[in-house]
Each structure stands twice: as structure tokens, then as C-alpha cells.
Structure 1
Amino acid sequence: MVYFSNTAVLRSIQQENAKTRKLKYLVTLLLRCLFIAALVLAFAFPYHPEKQLNVNTENNLVGVYIDNSMSMKGQSQRTTLIKDARQSARDLVHKLNPSNRYLLMTNSFEIQNEYPMNQEEMLDQLDRMNPDGAPAPMGEVVDRFEMLAKQHGFETSTLFVYSDFQSNTFDLSAAKADTAMQVVVVPMTPEFKTNLYVDSVWLASPVVQPGLTNDLYVRIVNQGDKEVKGLPVTFTMNGAMAASTTVDLEKNGTQDIVMQFVVEGSGDQRCSVSLNDHPIIFDDTYDFVLGVRPSLSVIELGSEATSCALLFDDDEQFRYTLMEPSRFDLDQLSKAQFIIVNENTNLNETLQQTLLNCVADGAAMLVFPSKNDPKNNAFLMSKLGLTVMELDTNATVAQDLALRHEFFSDVILDMPQQADLPKVKKHIRMRSNGIPSSLLVLQNGDAMLYSETVGQGQAFVMTTALDPKWSDLADHSLFVPMMVKMALLGGQLGKLSYTIGQDKIMVLNDMNLEGDHRFLFANADRSFEQMPASEVRNGKVYLYLNDNLPAAGFYDLLVNDTLNRVTAWNESRVESRMDFVDRDDIEAQFKKAGFDVAAVLDTSDFANADLVEAMAHQSSQWKLFALIALLALLGEILVLRFWK
């Protein structure tokens, strides 16, 4: 037994321990209560009551925008993005007050949808909605909705935006935000973000010649994180196989391939380059039309013929005509593929401007200097970037050819170092403004042949004449291939293909403008027909397409019920790139542009909850309470573990 002289110390220690345990108990209890309260509030999904939607208020227009561009046909977890968007929109309309007024917006901007509808009409239009449309900038969509809401007299409006928000089309920089409009964003996320597609095609030579081998260039793009080996690519012409090959693609890579083919016959050839890829298939095929002419029209302007007549007059490939400038035929000139202004002519300014217009429309033109006056046709030269200086009578010889220029790419295959080039006795000295290219240069440094692009065509200027007193060019071996190449450059037809949603105007340069014309645009089985508005201006016919075409493919242009030409149309490849804006950036960009973003929701929110509950689930305040609950739990653990 141990005896203490004073027990007061023990009583004091016991009292202090009791106080500490009581305080520890109270702190633990408070932390546990805070944990439970914060957890309950977190699962209650609190939100700001001032962020209520205007959907069920009076004089408010409810707009539903469904992006019906081709990328929305991508695969979702259940079906496709556009089908999910349409079903979600139906769920939304069902849940809202039946007295609401609705507006349906798509990329097609269809007039029948741009008036306030009741609930039943809105559901019917959603079922009838065109699933195919060209891409439209987001700023244009919201501006149009704001304009329609004001036009119909609504004080406020709410726009639900269903889109996959591709980076290429999500642009709000030019949009004008209206404070009376709310935006509810519903991002559609594709299941797969990979795509293989045919981007474009082009010809190695601008003219396709029947019976000869031609080269077609095709660009294939891989929008994916995996390499592709041995992808089959096929080229068909009028439904028959013309060529095939395989291609290897690196991840997120691009590859240009060459496909060789031979055309038999003339006229418009319906061609397609295709590959197989799923689930995005709208860009797997690229349609285009190859125009093969039976012969090319060559017109020589002059009072008398030159050596050009001997070259072109007896060749079945060409239709040669000698035309006197004083009696020129404008219609015949506008249809010519190659126009030669020889040395025996002097043109007035009106005819010179007419020739420039023909070149701008796709013809090729070769101008020789006038033997009578070097400064004749000075207006034409000035428009081509050349100034006529003086006549040089010093004999010289051609020295340099611009062999790297595309003009000589298939004219001269191999040239020896000491090649015999044309000899020149007289030539016109000219000063260039730097734009025309010098294709052939004389020994004294002056240019013998200039080349200049004018619009869709090509203009050539020779500084010496074909007369033997000027040069031996007409007898030189270089003369024939150069002249034929110039004629072929002017023989190209219009565009290989057009893009739906972008090309709204077609320009016809080679039509007989006499009499009345009735134009009809139709597909092969005539299930689609459109009569475009037309206008004749500056010797050309302009056709204005009123509506977007229903699908990619081939469409016939009929003039007075007679087939005039075949055209090919493709969907825009803007939609082919698998680059999307994420949810946070979507909301941030809308807010930066000044829009009131009420919520960013998922399509499932409209099927499983009312809008208030959906917005509450999208609020970020639950994260704050969840964090508080975790901190309270951590504090309780620390108290119990370290408070002795």
C-alpha cells in the first residue's frame, strides 16, 4: 500500500480528464453531424433558384435546334446521335406545358418550321424532320432563332441546342446575344471518334483525252489513333470498275494516291472513288464528272491564216476556224477552247476585253505581236501585266526553258544540254510587272514567251511572230507540242464536282443564249426536281439553287427538257473531321459570347426527370457539400486517432 500525503492532486487530474473527454466527444459529435448534413445536402443536388427556365411562362417561345448535319449520323450508345436527339426532343415537348409555343430549328432552315407551333404540331414536325442537312455555323443558328422570336412578338425565349459541337462549325464570334433568350445545351457524344474518308480528287492534266492513259489523284484521310494497312480504294466510271488500289495510312494521317484510267468515248462520265468505313459512311464516296470532248474548238483571229492553220485544220481533235476581227462572232468566241491572236490583226479595246472575259471563263489564249505596229493591242497587254517597250531587230536565240514549270511537265520529257532552240530575228521587248511567268527566255535576257492565269483560264504572250522574217518558230520542233498543250489547257470543262450547302450558284459559260430557256435540275430517277432561278449576265448563264439537294450523287441539268450536262454533288468534308468541343468549353464559349446558359444537360435527363430535377443534377453545388462531408469525416478520424 502506497500512502499519499495529499489526494487533491488526483482529484484535479480526474476533473481535467473528464473535461477533455467531454470536449473530444462534443467535437466528434459536431464533425459527425456536419458529415451527415453535408452528405444529405450533396445528394439533394442543390441549385440556384434564380436559374429557373422560362419554358412554362407566358409569352415565351421554346425553340429546339437539332443539328442534322452528316456527323450526327455517328453511332451513339443506342442508335445514332440524331435519333437520340429527336427522341430527347420529343420527351422534352411531352413534359412541358401543353400551352407552350414551339419552334423547330435545323441546318436546313425550312420555312414550314419557322412559325410558332402548338405541342401536337411540334411533335408532328419532329417526326417529319429532314435528317440530312449541310453544316451550319452555330452563330447563324442562334441569330436566326432570336430574329424569329422577335418577329413573332415573344418577350422571352428558350433554345434547346442538340449538337455534337464539332470544332469546325461551333463559331459564336459573330453571334449577337439577346438577354431575353436562355440557352440549354445538350451535347451529343459519339461512341466512336474515328473516321476514314475520301477528301478530294483532282486530275494530273486538266483535259481528259479519250483512248489515252490519264492520272487521277485521290486524297485519303485517316481521322483515328490507329494505323490502317491495305485499305481498298476503288474507282468506277459509269458503274463499271475503272481502277483499284490499296493504301496504308498512319494514325491521323493523309495519303495522296494516283489511279490511272482510260476513257473510251466522249461526253460526261459519271465517276466515283470509294472506300469502306463504318459507322460514318457519308464521306466514303466522292462523286465527280469527267467531261470528255470529242473535239476542241480553235479560233484564229486575223486577216489571214498563219502556220497555226496547218497544225489544227486537218486534225480531228480540233475544229479550226479563221475569224476576221471586224466580223467576229461573240457566241462562237465564248464557246472556243483556244483563241489565237495572230500577227496579222489589230483589235479594238472592246474585242480585247471580250477576249479577256473568254479566258477568265476557262479558255486558253495565245497572243502574237502585230507586225504592223508593236504597240497594237497595248490594252490587252496591260491587262496581262505587260508593257510594250520597243521593237528589237537584233538577231538572237532562245536560251532557257522553264522546265520546272507545269506547262512543260508533259511537253518536254528530256532535254539535252546543247539543245537546238528557236532562232529569233525580231522581237518585241516588254516590261513585266512581275506577275506573268517567263516560260522561254532569249539569250539577251528578254522573254520570248509569257504565261499568266486569268480567272479560270490561261493567257500566253509570244514576243516574236511566226513570220520567217521574225523567227523560225513555226518550223521548230517545239512549236507543235507547245501549241497542242495550250489548246488542251483551254479544253477543260467546268468543276469536277460541287459541294452541297456551299455551292449555291452554277455558272454556264458554253450555252447558246438565243431564245427562251427553261432549266430543270433533277436526279436520275426524277424523284427530285428543282427549277432554279436563272439570269443571263455578261454572256453567261447564272443558275441559283433555291434549296439544298436531298443527297449526294449525280444530278442532270435539263434545258427545255433536253439533257445539257451531268453534275456531281458531295457532302461537305468539314463534317468528316472528328474534332469536338468538350462540355466545359461549350458552356464557356456561349457565356463568353454573352448568352444566358441555363444548363448543360444530357439526353437522358429529359426521359427520367423533370427539368427542375435535371437542372439540379447539373448544378455544381453538390460538389461543395461532398467536399465538406469528406473534410468532416477526415477531421473526425484525426480527432479519434490523435487526441489523447
Structure 2
Amino acid sequence: MANCASRQSPKLQASGSKLKQLCNKAHKKTVSYCNFASMSFLYPSFLAALGAIAIPIIIHLFYFRRFKRVYFTNVKFLRELKEERSSRNKLKHLLVLMSRILALVFLVLAFAQPYIPQANSKIVQGSKAVSIYVDNSFSMNAGSGVTLFDRARRKAEEIARAYRPEDRFQLLTNDFEGRHQRLLNKDEFLNYLEEITVSPAVQTLNDVVNRQKQALSDANVQQKNLFLISDFQKNIVNIENDTAYNLYLIPLQTDERQNVYVDSVWFETPARNLNEQAQLLVRIKNSGNNALEGSRLELRINNQVKAMRDFSVAANNQSIDTLSFNITETGWQQAEVQITEPSTVAFDNTYYFTFEVAERINVLVINPASGGGNAYLNALFKQLTGFSVQNQSENQLDYAKLPANQLIILNQLRTFSSGLSAELQQYVNNGGGLLIFPSATANLTSYNNLLKNLRVNTFTALNKNRRETDYINTGQEIFKDVFEKLPNNLDLPYANSSYDMTAFANTGEEVLLRFRGGASLLSKYDVGNGKVYLCAVPPDLQVSNLPSHAIFPPMIHKIALSSGKGKLLAFTIGKNSVIETDVPPATAQNTDEVYKLKGTDEEFIPGQKAIGNKLFLTIGSQLRQSGIYSLFKDAAKPAAYFGFNYNRLESVLVYFTPDELKKQFNFSNIRFFDDNTDLTTLVGQIDRGVILWKWCLLLALTFLLFEILLLRLWKT
């Protein structure tokens, strides 16, 4: 039986396959019939007029002909003529009746406006609000001949033409302009569409959709549709679905994928000083699938080439290269790093930045009221150039002048007033450097109140045992490059007595010098925008040999150089909307004293707000071109310089494919349109289904014409 079954199985499979094909054909016909059968009407109340079909029928039934009297010599001929004319008239009248009925039927259907809805589409009557986002970022310049941006504008026009004149439209771009946040009629929309250009602004698609929904939220319409026309770079696609809106995605594809660009730059140390060598680190990224070999990186400062370096970067990877140069002048330095090799994507080949080299570093030493300055600190700073040191007693301080110092040294104060403690906390949070040398007879309660407010470790007790240092952190900036090579028997400081400290894990302590046994001698903490250096011993030879040790001068020197708030080297267009400056605000309300920003090709007045002795600038959307900008009241005397760069989000040429988008956004209210389709027809069918009223009107006219031809040409 098994053999028999196996022999019969091919025939059974063949017959099953034929049956399946027949079923598929029948299914297609059924689907087609069902689509036609699912025809709906936009105005079904007009179907009541089909009752008018009775009018031509009544006219046909009660139509009485008027006879003409004709004389014949023979009745036989009369009978034959009557029979022939009767059959012809009957056929003619039936054809005329049919023409009139069909013309009337299709005329009524035309007024009822029949349509066949698309699958998964709901036809909504009434006006609609339509928001169309056109991606006008730099990546849309890709494409040979016709760019992606040109194609996007054409698609937006096709979408607008699919809607009716009474519908309302919003045009949205990455610029987020105020005028684009209102609803327009179709003609206004098309005019605005012609005006938009490629822009350096970059927005995530979630921000775009939120902006669209905000514009349509107050629209009194029956349906709200959102369209996104973009290249859908992966680093900007983060859409959160909202089923209250219909979302349509139109991805535009390009073959350009290769791009090498300067991502960012930073200095190895936070401070730049005259006649010293600076190390500038440059991060270069390659977002393409091909490696770049032997390209050149160039550093220009004040329009002079300061350093050059060849570099290579692997595919889909990054490299960090170092450019070394000598600082030969003080004041503001205008700099740019550039990849000299030509690239198809050029907006990110250059990175602009600025930095300031101070003529001197201000240091304030706060001493006890009963004593003078520290001899070792005074002797040290006398030998150092580029420093301005002031010794002040703790009871003669001008708190308003504390922010003018890059470093404040607390020299063996026994206790702190609440006012000084609060001012020091604010000073550090705003970017200042604080070095604390405790007194051998310190009031630990007063000290620990300050240290707790700074969120650093606190003192526990004075340890009177002799302790020796066995560790120096040469990987940190304070002691880095101090020693060419550490000897095994290096002589490090000792202490006859020192303060023990807590070791809380959440303080971010970085140990610089450590006693044998694990206790800290000198530690660094990042607090707010500033730094705190906490020492366990005072600079007193009776307590420790630290002030006379060889590491003391470079330690204090490096702490002073590393102190002060690190300023941003560069800003991103469209991202850094508020900039904090150390420029003193204008003192008068006169517009002549308003600060201006000026670049190579543009000049404008930024928003300005004074907070304390700082000036905050609001850039907004006024700045559109990368480069170095000067801030000034008097053009001949700029107060500061800033470097602005285009957003590097646009530099990563990695896109979602249409299939990837469909997989990620598989929701019933989200649809996808192919770039090659005619959106006017496709959107119109989705919005109103397959429109049939034009065909009905054409058929009505056809049957009326047929009736006229019957009446005029068919002679009986």
C-alpha cells in the first residue's frame, strides 16, 4: 500500500498544483470583483434621483403617434408597409429609451461621485490639513545632475497638487522658521516651496513630526496628514508613532556613501601659555566603506600654516591625530584644521575654532589674618614669568574680584567664615581652580563644612606619625612630562604629621601623590566647571619637606596653568543657541553699545543678556555660514572671537533603505511611497480612492449623443 501511495503521489501533487492555480485565478477575479463591488459614494443622497428613470419610461409607454392619412389603390400594399414600419419604430424607440435611461443613470452617479477606496484606507469627507516636510540639509545636495533636494521639492509639489483647493498646507524645513508654522492655501504653499534652499540646520525626525503636529493641532479639519521627504539618515531617524495622524514616508536614495571629515578638536591640556608647545588632538572619521590612505591634515592659525600631518583612516572608522605647534603670541587665536584632499562632500572638511592666550595668569593667595604670605610660594612665583600673584589677608578680601583669578590658594587658614565658604563654592562651580593647604591647627569642623559643600573628601583627624610618599601619578596633567624617566629609587616627599581623609567613592577623587599605606597626600577633584586640589599637609618645613622638595615648583606651576574654566573651542550652528562669554555687558541702553557678530560674509546682532559680569549671546537661526566670527562694539577692537561649524550629524552618510524603514515602522497609519511613483495620482487615490465620477459623466454624455444620433439619422 505504501508503494502504491508513493506511485500515485506525483499525480495527486500535479492535480493539486493545477487546482491551486485555478483557485488563485478565481481569487484574483474575486478580488477584482470585490474591489468593484466595494464601490462607495461621496454623496450617496444623490442616488435618490435615480427615481427620475421613470420619466423616460412613462413618456415611452404613453407616447401616441399622430397618423397621417394616405390614400392607396390597394390595401395589400398598406398592410405590408404598416408591418415593416412598426418593427423599425419599435426597435428605434427601445434604443432611444435605453439611451435616455442610461444617460440619466450615469448623470445621477456622477453627482453622487462614486469611488473605489484603496485597501486599508478610509475616505474622509471635508477639508484636510496637510504638513509636508522637505529635508533641506547638506546631505540632500547629493546626486549627480538632479540633487536629492530638487527631487524632494518636486515630490512636495506632486503631493500638494493631489489635494483640493480648500485643503490647507504647512511647509516645513530644517530651519524651523516662524513663517513655516502657519497653514497656507495651495498657491501660497507652492510659492513658499520655490523659495526654500539648502541649509546648515539639522533636525531629528522626531522633532520634525512634533513640529508638524503642533502646527496642525489647532486646525479645524476632518483629517490630518503628515508627509516626510528625506534621505532618512540613520542618525536622525527616531520617530515616535502617533495613531491620531496619517504619516507618509518618501525616502530618496543616492549612491554616495563615502565621506571623510574632521569631527572635533581639543587640546591635551586645558590652558595655553605663551612660548610653550601645544598639542592639538584632531578626531577624523570615515563614514564610507573605503579606507583613506595618505591624506593630509593642515593647521592654520591667524592665516599662517602652523602644522601639517599625513593621516590614514580605515573604512567606517576613526583616527585621532596630534598636531604640535608653538604659541608665539598672546590674545585671541583664530584657527582652522582642514583636510586638504578634495571630497565630493566638502562642507565638513574644515573645522573652525578659537582660543585665547592670556598675557598673565592671575593667582590669589589668601593668608591668615595674623600672618603674612608663604615664603616658598612667594619665592616660586617670583621666578615664574606670566603670573600675576596677589597676597591678601582673609579679612581684607573683595569677594567681587575673586572670579578674576584663575587660581586661588588657601594658605593655612585656621577657619572659614560662612561668607567666604559660599563665595569659594560659587567660584569653583563657575570654573575657578582652588588649592587648599590646611593649617596644622585647623578647625576641622569649619574645613569639612566647606569640603562637604564642594562634594570632596573631608579631613578626619591629624595623624602625627611620619609618613613617606611612594606614588606619584605621572599620567595626570600635573606631573605629566615632569620626569623623562622615573628612577626606581626616586626620593619623594615625607610628612612628620598629616591629615587623614575620607575615601568616599562618589567624589571623583584623582590621587596625585599618595603615602605608603594608601592615604592621599594630594588629590584632585572636578567640581562643577572648576577644579579643587586638596593637600594633606601645609607648606611648612616643620610639618613636611614638600615645599622644599624638587616636585613642589612644577606641581604649583602646573596647577596654576591647569586652573581656570576651560572655554569651548568651537560651536555648532543650530545647536549652541546660547553662548556664555567673559565679555563685560554693555553698560547703557543705547543701541550703539550693542554687541555684533561678524563673519566673512554676514553680520548680525545676536540676542544679548547680562547676568552678573558675564554676557550671554543668543544666536538663533541668524547664523548660517561656518567660519570665524568676531564679537565687537567697535569693529576696530573685537572683544572676542568664536568658531562656528556645521553640524556633523549630516556627515554620516548612512541611510535607511525603504525595506528597513518598512520593517522598523510597521504601523497601520504609516505608509511608504516609492521615489519613482507619481504622487499626485497615488496620494489622490489614497485620499479619495479611485475616482469614477468623470467616467460616469463621460458615459452620460456618450448616451445622450447616441440618442441624438438615433433621432436625427434614423429615418422611419
Shorter-normalised TM-score: what interval? Answer: 0.7 to 0.9
Deviates more, 1:514-523 or 1:315-324: 514-523
2:712: which partner in 1?
A: none
Offset of 1:464 from its aligned partner? Answer: 0.8
2:398: which partner in 1?
A: 329
Is the contact between residue 557 and residue 563 of structure 1 (CA under 8 Å) also seen in structure 2? yes
Looking at structure 1, the residues matched to 219 and 288 of structure 2 have their Cα atoms a distance apart, in angstroms, of: 46
Q: Deviations over 1:597-638 (max 9, x none)?
A: 34423165248x564479999xxxxxxxxxxxxxxxxxxxxx
Offset of 1:131 from its aligned partner? Answer: 1.8
Residue 239 of structure 2 is aligned to residue 172 of structure 1 = yes
Q: 1:475 to 1:262 in 2, by over 3 A?
A: same
1:462: which partner in 2?
A: 535
- Scaled by the length of structure 1, the TM-score of the pair is 0.82
Q: Deviations over 1:456-514 (max 9, x none)?
A: 22210111111222222222111110001001101564111112232222223x45469
Match for residue 205 of structure 1 among 259, 269, 274:
269
Q: 1:379 to 1:312 in 2, by over 3 A?
A: same
2:154: which partner in 1?
A: 87
2:45: which partner in 1?
A: none
2:482: which partner in 1?
A: 411
Offset of 1:164 from its aligned partner? Answer: 0.9
Residue 451 of structure 2 is aligned to residue 381 of structure 1 = yes
1:289: which partner in 2?
A: 354
* Equivalent residue runs for 1:258-273 within 5 Å: 258-273=322-337
- Scaled by the length of structure 2, the TM-score of the pair is 0.74
1:294 counterpart letter in structure 2: E
2:179: which partner in 1?
A: 112
* Equivalent residue runs for 1:542-561 within 5 Å: 542-547=616-621, 549-558=623-632
Is the contact between residue 264 and residue 283 of structure 2 (CA under 8 Å) also seen in structure 1? yes
2:602: which partner in 1?
A: 527
Offset of 1:421 from its aligned partner? Answer: 1.9
How many residues matched?
A: 578
Q: Deviations over 1:390-443 (max 9, x none)?
A: 222333332221233343222333222222222322222222213322211224
Q: 1:53 to 1:123 in 2, by over 3 A?
A: farther
Looking at structure 1, the residues matched to 211 and 243 of structure 2 have their Cα atoms a distance apart, in angstroms, of: 11
Q: 1:341 to 1:559 in 2, by over 3 A?
A: farther
Partner of 1:49, secondary structure, is: coil
1:549 counterpart letter in structure 2: L
1:137: which partner in 2?
A: 204
Is the contact between residue 135 and residue 575 of structure 1 (CA under 8 Å) also seen in structure 2? yes
Looking at structure 2, the residues matched to 101 and 313 of structure 1 have their Cα atoms a distance apart, in angstroms, of: 75
Looking at structure 1, the residues matched to 306 and 24 of structure 2 have their Cα atoms a distance apart, in angstroms, of: 78
Offset of 1:318 from its aligned partner? Answer: 0.7
Residue 473 of structure 2 is aligned to residue 402 of structure 1 = yes
Looking at structure 1, the residues matched to 24 and 224 of structure 2 have their Cα atoms a distance apart, in angstroms, of: 44
Higher helix proportion: 2
Looking at structure 1, the residues matched to 550 and 24 of structure 2 have their Cα atoms a distance apart, in angstroms, of: 101
Is the contact between residue 100 and residue 118 of structure 1 (CA under 8 Å) also seen in structure 2? yes
Match for residue 214 of structure 2 among 147, 160, 165:
147
Is the contact between residue 539 and residue 547 of structure 2 (CA under 8 Å) also seen in structure 1? yes
Looking at structure 2, the residues matched to 305 and 54 of structure 1 have their Cα atoms a distance apart, in angstroms, of: 86
Q: 1:514 to 1:391 in 2, by over 3 A?
A: farther
2:321 counterpart letter in structure 1: I
Is the contact between residue 533 and residue 545 of structure 1 (CA under 8 Å) also seen in structure 2? no
2:650: which partner in 1?
A: 575
Q: Deviations over 1:489-545 (max 9, x none)?
A: 01564111112232222223x4546945865352324723133142516x6544443
Is the contact between residue 493 and residue 546 of structure 2 (CA under 8 Å) also seen in structure 1? yes
RMSD: 3.3
1:300: which partner in 2?
A: 365
Is the contact between residue 474 and residue 481 of structure 2 (CA under 8 Å) also seen in structure 1? no
Unaligned runs of 5+ in 2: 1-14, 36-114, 690-716
Larger Rg: 2
Offset of 1:314 from its aligned partner? Answer: 5.5
Q: 1:611 to 1:334 in 2, by over 3 A?
A: same
2:284: which partner in 1?
A: 220
Looking at structure 1, the residues matched to 209 and 410 of structure 2 have their Cα atoms a distance apart, in angstroms, of: 55
Match for residue 427 of structure 1 among 488, 498, 515:
498
Partner of 1:332, secondary structure, is: helix
Offset of 1:33 from its aligned partner? Answer: 12
Is the contact between residue 601 and residue 615 of structure 1 (CA under 8 Å) also seen in structure 2? no
Unaligned runs of 5+ in 1: 1-23, 618-644
Offset of 1:301 from its aligned partner? Answer: 1.1
Is the contact between residue 587 and residue 600 of structure 1 (CA under 8 Å) also seen in structure 2? no
Identity of paired residues, percent? Answer: 23
Q: 1:433 to 1:225 in 2, by over 3 A?
A: same
Q: 1:233 to 1:525 in 2, by over 3 A?
A: closer
2:191 counterpart letter in structure 1: D
1:360: which partner in 2?
A: 429
1:156: which partner in 2?
A: 223
Is the contact between residue 229 and residue 247 of structure 1 (CA under 8 Å) also seen in structure 2? yes
Looking at structure 2, the residues matched to 53 and 257 of structure 1 have their Cα atoms a distance apart, in angstroms, of: 58
